[in-house]
Amino acid sequence: MGYATVKNSLCVLGLLALLQACSYSVIVSNKNGVAQPDPFRQELGFYNLKKVQDVKFINRLSLLQNSVMVIDSTCTEGFHSIEYKITFGDMLRNTITFGKRKAVRVRIVCIKPSNQ
Amino acid sequence: MAQITTHHVTDWNNYHFNGPYPTKCLFDIDTNRTIVSLIDRYTDSASSIQGLISDSLANNERFRAYGSAWSLSNVAHQRDRMLFNANLNIRLEIKDSQLHPSTTYQSENLFLFQCGNTIKEISEFLQKKGKSLKTCGASNGQTIAGAISTGVHGSSIDVGSVQDCVVGLQLIIGPNANDRVYIERESRPALSDEFARRIQSRVIRSDDLFNAALVSLGAFGVIHGVVLEAEDLYLLKRYVKKISKADALQIAATMDFANARFKLPDEVLPDGTVNRPFHYKLYINPYNASEDFVTEIIYKKPYRTGYPNPVPFVQNAIFKDIPTWVSAFAAKHKRIIPRILDALKSEAFPKVDDTIEGTLGEIFWDTSQSSAAFGCGFGIDIADSPKALDLFIDLMNDKGPIPGILSMRFVKASEATLGFTRFPTTCILEVDGVPWKGNQNMISLDDFLTDVIKTFKDSGIAFTLHWGKNAPWSFPNLIDLMYGNADDKWKDMRSILLSKEIAHLFSNDFLSTVNLADYRVNIAPDFVALRDAVAASVV
């Protein structure tokens, strides 16, 4: 492998790392309530054995609109947690469309329904 | 009928990723929420579970219910059919009219919880009633049925374990109408026969049977409902201090806080006497045992509103957030383990000099983990605890190092026949960490724990092991070594309650490994009358 190839690969890796660093997410978790369980969702971390709903879409806003609202009807007893994620591409899209194309990437966990 | 979804699967794993284990079928059950009456909805769930038991018997398949899958051992696993019951979370308040005529319990403190209620759900429900659990497992994710049947404990030095707050159990022990039983102590009855009939159960009042069924390891049938005694809501004030090893172990060996060298100035009364803590826990770095111990001391206080939210601070005290790569790296380069643990001390131990206040449910709030985990808990008489700690630390240094830290908690004896907190005050000497694969360079976890057992045995230290944690469960004569004849009584009680066919249905690999699965046709003469009474009882 030549010097140039190694150099290019490192540049690509560096760029990917930079882009990855530009993506981030925040989890807002409810102090109260228990997450709706999912016996089949096995993954290390916060979502282990929790029932998860992913909401992903790109919203096109009209000239007079300036925000996006996601209406969820599945959590009958409230949210256990909401994770909002934004990627470098999402930020870029928002910028070049002057805020009129917004990507929504939300992960929702509902509170486990009580038997009342 | 309750909603049941059947999933044909090939394996199953627990919450802490100690498997996977082979399994054929998993049932996911939820209550029928169209039934308005909660008690009718509750009995409907029981009928649906009996339908699954009937089908399992017809197909010669064994059956086991589980909830949060929090046990690190394979006690919750069943090769054939498993019932996921976490959605069965009905809660019922007990009314005065439902009490037994000669009970000493107050109805306002008694609640019936269906098996899938987690400790957190119970704490939140009770808080709305101005009540609290008496103790918990210092975490909140276990379901009540799982917690009691494996002996989950905190470090409540004068209270006991979760199962010690149970005053009644409803078990499903077969497919027929007479196979729902409500069991409570004869010496401390709680609920009336009429209440038992309302939940379509026959009543059995026997201290021996109740104490055996408390820590049942899932072998006494499906625990469908648990009657708990709660108490008035209280606050816990948590201090984290560094205490010299000598002072910390002086308390550990005696639980005598009144005459201890270490005293918290804020908990010394004007007359010089000291308050007795609710909870005492030592965190120990085994690779630098000369340093002072980080010590968590919690006092019970009257409830008041307006205290600062403690939850953001309790999150700091979670060791399990150490990533898996640490253990993989450590297994290859074991000499650096002490340095890694030293560097991660701030993650593994609570922050020293933090003082927070909150309810039981807040102080022991949610935990999550970013890696698989192992944990092993040895129960020891407190008098032996300093010696046992020294032996354990020596082994960790001689045979290891291994990627884990030590802690010591202290719990009052349980009345449960196979409660592993069986000493007057039991010290639970725990090692927790991230699992690794043994190799030529590093001893395996199983081999290490086997060495600990041999060392304790040779040193004359009586011990038990936490049922829901990792241990070399196939160690020869382990149960006799730990429990003497108590396991014989437990087997007798199981054989009194269940038929041979049903006992087989509720057995699993774990029970076979520890020699608790066998059925006794000939029980001890002392229990023949009880067997006849149980056989004669009807709904």
> Distance between CA B17 and CA B25 in Å, rounded?
19
Q: What is the DSSP letter of B264?
A: -
Asked if B371 has any chain A CB less than 8 Å from its own CB, the reply is yes
State what percent of residues in chain B have pLDDT above 90.
82
Average pLDDT estimate for B419-436: 93
| Burial class of residue B303 in the structure, from the number of CB atoms within 10 Å of its CB (0-12 exposed, 13-18 middle, 19+ buried) | middle
Q: How many CB pairs under 8 A join A and B?
A: 55
Which residues from A are below 8 Å from B370, CB to CB? 44-45
Contacts of B338 (CB under 8 A, 6+ apart): B287, B288, B401
The closest alpha carbon to B416, from B217, B205, B193, belongs to: B217
The pLDDT tens digits of the residues spanning B361-382 come to: 999 988 777 677 889 999 999 9
Q: Which residue has the higher pLDDT, A76 or B184?
A: B184
Give the pLDDT confidence score for residue B317 in this predicted structure: 43
Average pLDDT estimate for A30-44: 94
Give the pLDDT confidence score for residue A1 in this predicted structure: 61
Predicted model pTM: 0.93
Banded model confidence at residue B331, pLDDT cuts 50, 70, 90: low
The pLDDT tens digits of the residues spanning B101-159 come to: 999 999 999 999 999 999 999 999 999 999 999 999 988 999 999 999 999 998 899 99
- Chain A residues within 8 Å of chain B (Cβ atoms): 31-34, 37, 39-40, 42, 44-46, 48-49, 112-116
Return the SS3 of B343.
helix
Among candidates B7, B87, B311 on the partner chain, residue whose Cβ is nearest the Cβ of A31: B311
Give the pLDDT confidence score for residue B318 in this predicted structure: 42
pLDDT at A114 over 70: yes
Among candidates A40, A45, A115 on the partner chain, residue whose Cβ is nearest the Cβ of B33: A115
For every residue of B461-515, DSSP letters joined together read --EEE-TTS---TTSTTHHHHHHTTHHHHHHHHHHHHS-HHHHHHT--HHHHHTT
Which residues from B are below 8 Å from A39, CB to CB? 26, 28, 69, 84, 86
pLDDT at B320 over 70: no
Give the pLDDT confidence score for residue B288 in this predicted structure: 82
Tell me the average pLDDT of chain B: 93
Asked if B533 has any chain A CB less than 8 Å from its own CB, the reply is no
The structure tokens listed for A51 are 């029932």
Of B62-66, B222-226, B397-401, B413-417, the range with the lowest mean pLDDT is B397-401
CB pair distance less than 8 Å for B370 and A116: no
Return the SS3 of B220.
coil
ipTM higher than the 0.85 cut: yes
Mutate to test the interface with A, among B368, B369, B370, B434 (most CBs of A within 10 A): B368
Average pLDDT estimate for B218-247: 97
Mutate to test the interface with B, among A27, A32, A34, A112 (most CBs of B within 10 A): A34
